[in-house]
Structures are given as C-alpha cells and as structure tokens.
Amino acid sequence: MLGQLTRSPASLAGLRSSTQLVARLSQSSRPVRLHRAITSAVSQADQEATAASTAAAVQQQQQSSSPDGTGTQQQAQQRKVGAAGPRTSSKEMVDTSPPRGTRDFYPEDMRLRNWLFGEWAAVAQLFGFEQFDVPVLESEELFVRKAGEEITDQLYNFQDKGGRRVALRPEITPSLARLVLGKGKGLALPAKWWIVGQCWRYERMTRGRRREHYQWNMDIVGVPGVEAEAELLAAITTFFSRVGISAADVGIKVSSRKVLAAVLERYSVPPENFAQVCVIVDKLEKLPRDKVEAELAALGVSADATEGILSALSCRSLDQLGELLGPAGHDALGDLRQLWALAAGYGFQEWLVFDASVVRGLAYYTGVVFEGFDRAGQLRAICGGGRYDKLLGTFGGEDVPCAGFGFGDAVIVELLKDKQLLPALTQQVDDVIMVMDESLRPAACGIAARLRAAGRRVDVILEAKKMKWAFKHAERSGAARLLLVGGGEWERGAVAVKDLASREQTEVPMDQLA
Amino acid sequence: MLGQLTRSPASLAGLRSSTQLVARLSQSSRPVRLHRAITSAVSQADQEATAASTAAAVQQQQQSSSPDGTGTQQQAQQRKVGAAGPRTSSKEMVDTSPPRGTRDFYPEDMRLRNWLFGEWAAVAQLFGFEQFDVPVLESEELFVRKAGEEITDQLYNFQDKGGRRVALRPEITPSLARLVLGKGKGLALPAKWWIVGQCWRYERMTRGRRREHYQWNMDIVGVPGVEAEAELLAAITTFFSRVGISAADVGIKVSSRKVLAAVLERYSVPPENFAQVCVIVDKLEKLPRDKVEAELAALGVSADATEGILSALSCRSLDQLGELLGPAGHDALGDLRQLWALAAGYGFQEWLVFDASVVRGLAYYTGVVFEGFDRAGQLRAICGGGRYDKLLGTFGGEDVPCAGFGFGDAVIVELLKDKQLLPALTQQVDDVIMVMDESLRPAACGIAARLRAAGRRVDVILEAKKMKWAFKHAERSGAARLLLVGGGEWERGAVAVKDLASREQTEVPMDQLA
C-alpha cells in the first residue's frame, strides 16, 4: 500500500492537517486533481464527524487526540511530520498519528500514566483486592443491551474473518460477569477483584472526547449488603486522599435505584421497563426536561408516574425521601442510612452527598449508585459505580450480588492538573557510564553489569560522544552519577565518578565501586 | 440477541463442546433439527480451522484456549457452563469463554503474569530504558509488507465504521517506528525504549498456538554499532539469570543478515529482493529444502546463488564464515567479532552461539539477528531480535539505525514450568478483619482505615460469617493476622489478634494496633 496514494484512499483517513495532506499528495507518483483529492480525502477521514467545516474538523481532532488534553505536543508533532514530508522523495510518509481518537504514550506521558496506575494498584492492594485481566476484544453479544445506553450505542465493533461479531470492550463489567459465570460454583465468594484496562467507544468525535480511555475497576462479587458499596467508596476516597485531593475538591453523589423502583412500582410501570427508565432519566442533566418526559411517555410511562419520578429525583435529604416514598422507600432508605453509618466509621462521610438525581447511565444497576464529581462543577463525572445484582441473570446465569465502580484516566488527570497536583516525574536512572577510550568498552560493559547486579539502574552511553554531551545527557536523565571509564584513573585501576548533584568528581577504585 | 439462538448464528461461534451445544439448543424456543443445527453451528465456529472432524476441532480449541497450555482449568469451566445450562430456563447462557484463541487471567493466572512482567520491567529499568505505549489498534498500513512474512499474512484486521482499515497489532516495532517518525528531530537520540504489549494474529487455530500473546520489547534507536545489540543481549541474559535460567538451559543463536547480503551481492541478486529472500530462507527449519529452493527460484534467484546462500547459512564458526565470504564478509565478521568481545566484557558470552542459519522471519532486519532457544530443543524460539536500520525509510521517513528484540510470554512460561522455576505466588494480604457483632461494623471499618493508612493490606470480611469460615478465608488469602472486632476484648477497648503462622491469639489495645 505504501507509495500508492491514489489507489489507497483508506491510508488517507488519518490525515490531520492540510499542510500534511498537500505534502503527501505532492509526493504521489500519479497526477491528481488536487482540490478534488483534498475534498474527498478529508470527507473520507471525517465522514462521521459532526463538524461542518474541514478546518474545524482538523482543529478538533488535534485537540482531542492529545495525550493530556492540551494538544500542544501532538500538534507540534503534526507540524513536524508535515515539514518532514518533502525531504523524503521516494516514499509516501505513513500517517504518524495514532488511530483517530486514540493516544500514544511517549516516555514522558507514560511516566504520568504509570504513576496514576501505580496509585490505583496500591489502593486496590491495600484493600485486599486481587487483579484479573480479560481480552480487550470480546464477543459483541456481551455488550448488546436494549436499554439505549450511550455505552452500547457507541460499540467499537467489527466482524472478524471467521464471521464472528466482536467488539473492543466499552467497559469491563460484562467481562467480569463472564469470568464469574465461567467459574460457576468453583469461584470462592466473595470475590474482590480489580483491573485497569483500556475501553473503547466508537462515537462521533467531539471536542475533548476520545475513542479510548483506561479505566480502573474494583468489584465485589457475592456481598448483598451495602458493606460492599462502603468498602468501594472507601477505596475511592483513599485514592483521592493519596493524590492530594480533599473532600473540599471532590464529592461523591450517592443514591439508590431502589428509589426509582419504588416510584415505578407505585405507578405500576412494569419492571422490565426499569432499566430503560433509568437510562432515560439519567439524561436529565444533558437534555431538556420536556425531551426526557417525551422519551418516558414513548415508553408508556404515564404523566403521573413521570411526575412522581422527577419529584423523587429532586430529593436532597434522606428524611425528605422517607416522607416522599413512605413504606415503599423502606429498603432504599435503610441501605442509604447504613451506608452513611459505615462511611462515618471509615471516616469518609464528608465526601458523600445524598442526591436522588444520581441514576447513572448503565442499564444494569439495581441498588446504590454513586458518582464522583468536582465541587467546582467544571468537569464531567470523575468516577461512578453501584450495585448490579441482576447482570449475571441477564447473561443466563444465576444472579449473584455484585457492586463495583469504574474510574477513568481522563477526568482525574484534568482535575489533578487544575489543582497542580500532578507530580513532576523524571526518568529514573542512577548511573550513566561513559567510555573515554573505545578499547575499554568491554571493561565498561563489565562495570555496568556489576552495578546492575547490585540493583543500580545504569545507562551506558553506547557510542563515542563528547564529554559535554555526556554531562547534558546524564543530567537530563536524572542520574545521580556519571562514571568515566578511561584516562589516568583507569591506569590506576579506578574510575572517575562525578556526583551530578554536588558536581564533585572523585576517583573510585574498581573494587570499591558500588 | 440474548435468548434468540436460532436467529443469531454468530452467537454460536464460540461453542466449545457438543454437551454445551446440545444444552443450548435444547433451550431454544423454536424447534430445530438438531443434527443440522450442530453441523452448521460447528461449521460456523470452525470455518477457518484445519481439523477434519468436529471432535478434533473441539479438542484442539480446548487445548489452545487454556491460560497455561494445559487446558485443565478451561475444560473444567466448559463442563460447568454446559451443566449450568438447564438450571436457567428463561435465558440462553452467554458463551463464558474468551474469544477463540485468547486468554482470560483469573487472579491466580494474573499473579504469574504480574511476576513475569515485573521481572521484565525490572530489567528494562536496570538498563535505563524508558517505557512507552501505543494503541493496540493501529492503521493497517503500518503492517502491510510484501515480503510474505507469516506475521503480516496473519493480520487481525478489520474495517471500522468510518471505512478505515485497522488492525490489532501483530507486533510493536512498526508502532515504535511511527512514534520515532512522529517526533522527528524533536526526539533526543539515542532513545532506549521498552514496552510490554499484547500482540494479535489471526491464523488457523492449531495445537498450542493462540491468537494473542504479550510481548516484551526493548529497542535502541539511533545507535549504529553493535554496542546496541550487545546491550540488548545483556538485558535478555540478565532476565534469564534473574528467573533462574542458566546458559546451560538456554542459548542465543546469533548471526548477521550482512552474511546473506554479501552472498546475494556476489550473485547479483537485486537488493530489493533481500527481504523476501530472508523470509524464504528463514523457513528452512520448517519446510523441506527443495520447497525453499523452489521459492527462491520463483523469485528469480539462480541455482548458483541458492547454493551459495545455503552454504553460507551452514557456517557454524566465524573463521569458517570469514573464509567463505572473503573480503565481502568483512563487515558482517567485524560486527560479530565486536559483539563477542562486548559479550565477554558483560560476562554473557557463554550464552552466545554463532549460527549463520539464523535469519529471523521479519522482513525489516538488516544486520545482526539473534534468537533465544532452549538447548534441550523442545520449544519454539523464546525470543528474537536484531538490527533494522531501514524500517523508517520504508515508512517514508529518514532512516535511523535501530535494534531491538521481542520476547513473548508463552514459551518462557513453558520453559520455566518444565524447569520448575515458576514461583509459588499467593494472594498478598496482611490482615483480615472480622466483625463479631454487626453493631461494631463502623468501628471495624475505622480500624481497617487506620491499618491501611499505615500501609497494611487489609481484607475486611463484609458479611456476618462463622468463625471457622473466617479462619479458612484468612489462611487461604495468605494473611499474617486475623483481627476479631467484638466480644470481651472490645469491652476492654481492645481487639483479639490471631497470628496465623503461630496460631497464637493476643489482645491488642486499640491505641496500640498497627
């Protein structure tokens, strides 16, 4: 496909800037009518984009594909690629961007990701959870639900060469359910599992949304009581505290779908419509109220019931909820009061905010639901979760009580950045070794081997370089020492060791080197 | 799609045993002619399998889809699913297997994977390499090469909803090249990068081969000399040594493609055929010699040249190679002699075996190539790598010298298992907390929070359980202590602490608990 631009429009699909496009078209070996080619290539690239103009589409792609949401680095790279084009005359340059809406992690980005994932892992371990993993590609049937959730409408799905319908997972919970079903009675309950995995959605690209993100999940399988939800919320707040976020920065809205269930029962809405009603009322923050009312009406929910639902959702205190629901609310209220009591025990009650309007957009929740939010109100939900006691049943298995949460890597990084809580992370190297005389290179390799065996992280300079370069390089890599192999020191059976903090140089005999 | 078996043949694609199949068919709400249904379902499921009989196809699937190659656990699960079928009358059971040829990692499998990946990470860090990451889904064009490599023939590719050709990566090197090109002159060279990532291939399922594996890669970008290859081999042997494998167990065959290049030049084979010749002669171990000769002839390589190539490949000593190639071999010999000298410096020369027949099956290698093998000759290659100085050029960029290796997670685990070097890994929990009186649960939550803040990994029992269950559970989770909140101790402001190793129980005042 390389070098055959006009024959492979698909290879144009990732083009990001008109500069780059023109650079590539101008390398084509066949004459093309430039204007038409640009138009068709851009239309190919953006056929599902909502943007009206090409320029807007290009700009939004640049913003949404950046690793950290700022787009600066990615845009700089784009320009570089465009500029590099004309230098290489014989071959068409491949698209150096990752697939539309996805991210690359250069080492400087990866350090931050490793730090975040490391904090997530540390919390999961403090809570005695066990890690699991599943393939990022699953059978499509795991994610096909009919409640109209955004997450299943945006399935990143394909047909494979064997004719099977497969999908890059949009979420991890269905795979966890599959594993629990797969073990059957062989799984010791309760199971407390965690995972960090990449999730995908195929949606129209809009500002600031990507097609993949990483998600931390913790799930408790086999515990019917809100003790599970309390433990999960303790894990979330422990994470926040570890990274420097306080209850003044972030709150967690908590409610229970049992509130809605009680209202629906009172108005004789059939239970099989429960999930769909939840998905619809979850849109209250995004859609105008009359739109939500219309969707409920279309589902056959009476105006009375809609009024009851919306009134229940406006509750902001447990006592008010108790009055509203009467005996039908006994279950929901009991759960929530117990949850608050446990939160006080753990010491995280100040994070919790009772808010009956929290429903969450996933069809499978059945009980307590919760959602982390920034109190400044600038960001989308930080994390969310709840109880899903019926998911295994919808997969044809026996129901097992489950609760869990998902915590994405995007919003938390925005929040940490806003609050200047992102750590300054540098490369982690202890020693840099520089060979002063190439005949001594094997000896220098031996020194590196010895230091590494002692646990030191050693970067060997693998070419003949100038001393000035070596110093710069050692400082940039955050090394503590620069070791120089050669010169007078070597003749005396020693190595010159430069301490990069104090800038002092000492001569260390080979047998004392550590 | 759930519950509609006869309408969705795709959902049958993952059926693994005839028991399960019959169980599912018998739940179908529509009458089906059983024999025809089984035949067509199995044919759908296995349309790309080579097995002649259904039984063989089922058996091979069970063997190839197990996490550890033994299949025992997976088969047990399959039986469980089949047996569970009739219990759930209203819903068809989803397929609880992961997609064909892929693995789930239950916590017990994940511990082993984490250990292995942890060793890989530790080695990369000791060598001063920086981690990066790229999307598992890439543009197909990154992997389309015309040299007939197995890896590109088995591309796990799709068309996405935007009409783009995308692929789950079969290898990571092209993505690394994309990142290097993307940074252009902004990338400080040399760059030393590592990654562990999942790689996919879509191939006919045969015994013991899977459609995904994880691969550890280390690459050095920007160093033209064999100092890079030596450093990479030092990392590989350091890893082997850390996990208990010696040079008596494993060797690394080393050669250089410059040997072949010299031979081809002597026989006037055009350089553009170099990659294809390499891919063909790499098959010498798998195909009969006359088949390889025929493939070379089809490429226009003369019988003389083929004779020269095969004779050069039979060399097993550097001196012999020097005689064979004469002045044309100066470059290849110089590289290899220098590599041995550096290996002696590092102290890993005993691992190296010069073997000119090592070519490696990837088109893009240009210089030194190497391949780790078990000296007992029981297993496929353990790892492989080499120099690829021209890959960036084929992507339309400026060439930058590169060398790297890939090291899969499958063969090494087989080897470690054979040698009984797999570590016994248990869950890692310090304390288990048991509430003796539910009214004390909030207090117990507070104790958990305090211990966790002090860095202890605490598993809270979230339901009322019997003491016997708690002991068993604490022991199974490998905890050091079981803390009992309640009873007489609690009245005295203390907690009963059972040391699970010594079986001794002590009373610890709350304020001394740590």
Instruction: Please choose, from the candidates A411, A433, A413, the residue with its C-alpha nearest in 3D space to the C-alpha of residue A421.
Output: A413
Percent of chain A with pLDDT over 90: 73
Nearest CA in chain B to A126: B457
Tokens of A182: 């797969």
Per-residue pLDDT of B15-29, as tens digits, reads 333 333 333 333 333
| Chain B residues with beta carbon closer than 8 angstroms to that of A156 | 160
Please state, in angstroms and rounded to a whole number, the distance separating the CA atoms of residues B417 and B411: 10
Point out the residue among A8, A85, A345 whose CB comes nearest to the CB of B445.
A345
- Strand A383-387 versus strand A402-408 pairing type: antiparallel
Distance from CA of B328 to the nearest CA of A (A): 25
Q: What CATH code would you report for B431-512?
A: 3.40.50.800
Per-residue pLDDT of A471-503, as tens digits, reads 999 999 999 999 999 989 999 999 999 999 999
Per-residue pLDDT band for A214 (boundaries 50, 70, 90) equals very high
| Chain A residues with beta carbon closer than 8 angstroms to that of B140 | 1, 10
Contact between B510 and B494 under an 8 Å Cβ cutoff? The reply is yes
Number of A–B residue contacts, CB under 8 Å: 368
pLDDT of residue B52: 32
Question: Would the CB atoms of B13 and A227 count as touching at under 8 Å?
Answer: no
A481-485 β-sheet, strand order: A458-460, A431-435, A481-485, A494-499, A505-509
Distance from CA of A105 to the nearest CA of B (A): 5
pLDDT of residue B206: 66
Q: Which amino acid is at B342?
A: L
pLDDT of residue A6: 30
Which of these ranges, A90-94, A288-292, A452-456, A468-472, has the smallest mean pLDDT?
A90-94
Question: Would the CB atoms of A395 and B446 count as touching at under 8 Å?
Answer: no
Mean pLDDT, rounded, for A130-138: 98
pLDDT of residue B433: 98
Question: Would the CB atoms of A77 and B234 count as touching at under 8 Å?
Answer: no
| Chain B residues with beta carbon closer than 8 angstroms to that of A432 | 128
Mean pLDDT, rounded, for A139-144: 94
Average pLDDT, chain A: 84
Which of these ranges, A130-134, B33-37, B134-138, B263-267, has the smallest mean pLDDT?
B33-37
Q: Which amino acid is at B319?
A: D
Distance from CA of A192 to the nearest CA of B (A): 9
Q: Which amino acid is at A40?
A: S
Nearest CA in chain B to A454: B126
Q: Which of A4, A154, A445, A469 has the highest number of chain B CBs within 10 A, making it the mutation to test binding with B?
A: A445
B143-to-A68, A162, A187, B249, B273 alpha-carbon distances in Å: 27, 20, 41, 34, 18
Q: Decide whether A107-418 matches A431-512 in CATH topology.
A: no
Reply yes or no on whether the pLDDT at A117 is more than 70.
yes
Phi then psi dihedrals of residue B507, to 5 deg: -105, 120
Point out the residue among A27, A234, A462 whose CB comes nearest to the CB of B228.
A462
pLDDT of residue A90: 58
Q: Which of A152, A154, A158 has the highest number of chain B CBs within 10 A, making it the mutation to test binding with B?
A: A158
Question: Would the CB atoms of A344 and B442 count as touching at under 8 Å?
Answer: yes
Reply yes or no on whether the pLDDT at A393 is more than 70.
yes
SS3 B153: helix
Q: Return the domain boundaries, chain B.
A: 2-81, 107-418, 431-512
Distance from CA of B165 to the nearest CA of A (A): 6
Per-residue pLDDT band for B105 (boundaries 50, 70, 90) equals very high
Centre a 10 Å sphere on the Cβ of residue A185 and count the other Cβ atoms it contains: 10
Which of these ranges, A144-148, A353-357, B80-84, has the smallest mean pLDDT?
B80-84
Question: Would the CB atoms of A462 and B220 count as touching at under 8 Å?
Answer: yes
Reply yes or no on whether the pLDDT at B1 is more than 50.
no
Question: Would the CB atoms of B137 and A76 count as touching at under 8 Å?
Answer: no
| Chain A residues with beta carbon closer than 8 angstroms to that of B130 | 107, 110, 427
Question: Would the CB atoms of A137 and B100 count as touching at under 8 Å?
Answer: no
Please state, in angstroms and rounded to a whole number, the distance separating the CA atoms of residues B140 and B144: 7
Q: Which amino acid is at A235?
A: A
pLDDT of residue B38: 32
Describe the crossing of helices B330-346 and B318-325 by its angle, rounded to 10 degrees: 170
Nearest CA in chain B to A478: B128
| Chain A residues with beta carbon closer than 8 angstroms to that of B342 | 441-442, 445
Question: Would the CB atoms of B223 and A455 count as touching at under 8 Å?
Answer: no
| Chain B residues with beta carbon closer than 8 angstroms to that of A133 | 104-105, 110, 113
Per-residue pLDDT of A324-348, as tens digits, reads 899 989 999 999 999 999 999 999 9
Please state, in angstroms and rounded to a whole number, the distance separating the CA atoms of residues A331 and A312: 15
Phi then psi dihedrals of residue B242, to 5 deg: -60, -35
| Chain B residues with beta carbon closer than 8 angstroms to that of A76 | 186
Point out the residue among A125, A344, A452 whose CB comes nearest to the CB of B238.
A452
Tokens of B42: 């199995």
Distance from CA of B310 to the nearest CA of A (A): 32
Point out the residue among B160, B228, B463 whose CB comes nearest to the CB of A223.
B463
Contact between A101 and A92 under an 8 Å Cβ cutoff? The reply is no
Number of H helices, E strands in chain A: 19, 16
| Chain B residues with beta carbon closer than 8 angstroms to that of A110 | 130-133
Distance from CA of B247 to the nearest CA of A (A): 16
pTM here is 0.85
Q: What is the ipTM of this complex?
A: 0.84
pLDDT of residue B44: 35
Please state, in angstroms and rounded to a whole number, the distance separating the CA atoms of residues B381 and B374: 8
Point out the residue among B47, B125, B202 whose CB comes nearest to the CB of A428.
B125
Per-residue pLDDT of A156-180, as tens digits, reads 999 988 889 999 999 999 999 999 9
Point out the residue among B97, B99, B458 whose CB comes nearest to the CB of A166.
B99
| Chain B residues with beta carbon closer than 8 angstroms to that of A182 | 77, 80-81, 96-97, 104
Q: Is A172 annotated as contributing to ligand binding?
A: yes
| Chain B residues with beta carbon closer than 8 angstroms to that of A220 | 462
Q: Is A133 annotated as contributing to ligand binding?
A: no
pLDDT of residue A303: 94
| Chain A residues with beta carbon closer than 8 angstroms to that of B460 | 128, 227, 231
When mean pLDDT is compared over A24-33, A88-97, B323-332, the highest value belongs to B323-332
Query: What is the separation, in whole angstroms, between the first and last Cα of chain B?
Result: 53
| Chain B residues with beta carbon closer than 8 angstroms to that of A437 | none
Question: Which H or E element spans position B484?
Answer: strand B481-485
Reply yes or no on whether the pLDDT at A35 is more than 60.
no
Question: Which H or E element spans position B56?
Answer: helix B54-64
Reply yes or no on whether the pLDDT at A16 is more than 70.
no
Centre a 10 Å sphere on the Cβ of residue A302 and count the other Cβ atoms it contains: 13
Tokens of A383: 């994390």
Contact between B356 and B309 under an 8 Å Cβ cutoff? The reply is no
In the Cβ-directed half-sphere of B476, how many Cα atoms lie within 13 Å? Answer: 12
Nearest CA in chain B to A339: B442
Angle at CA of residue A255, ends A252 and A258, nearest 5°:
160
**Residues counted in chain B:** 514
pLDDT of residue B116: 98
Reply yes or no on whether the pLDDT at B61 is more than 90.
no
CA dihedral A442, A447, A450, A455 (to 10 degrees): -130
Tokens of A36: 């038409």
Per-residue pLDDT band for B103 (boundaries 50, 70, 90) equals very high
Could you confirm whether domain A107-418 is CATH 3.30.930.10?
A: yes
Centre a 10 Å sphere on the Cβ of residue B96 and count the other Cβ atoms it contains: 25
A41 vs B345, residue with greater confidence: B345
Distance from CA of A141 to the nearest CA of B (A): 7
pLDDT of residue B208: 64
Q: Is A70 annotated as contributing to ligand binding?
A: no
Nearest CA in chain B to A229: B462
Centre a 10 Å sphere on the Cβ of residue B491 and count the other Cβ atoms it contains: 8
Percent of chain B with pLDDT over 90: 73
Distance from CA of A341 to the nearest CA of B (A): 7
pLDDT of residue B205: 66
Per-residue pLDDT of B177-203, as tens digits, reads 999 999 999 999 999 999 999 999 998
Mean pLDDT, rounded, for B294-315: 93
Per-residue pLDDT band for A286 (boundaries 50, 70, 90) equals confident
- The alpha carbon of B390 is separated from its chain's Cα centroid by a whole number of angstroms, namely 26
Per-residue pLDDT of B251-303, as tens digits, reads 999 999 999 999 999 899 999 999 999 999 999 888 999 999 999 999 999 99
Distance from CA of A417 to the nearest CA of B (A): 21
Per-residue pLDDT band for A51 (boundaries 50, 70, 90) equals very low
Question: Would the CB atoms of B142 and A94 count as touching at under 8 Å?
Answer: yes
Which of these ranges, A82-91, A207-216, B280-289, has the smallest mean pLDDT?
A82-91
Reply yes or no on whether the pLDDT at B384 is more than 60.
yes
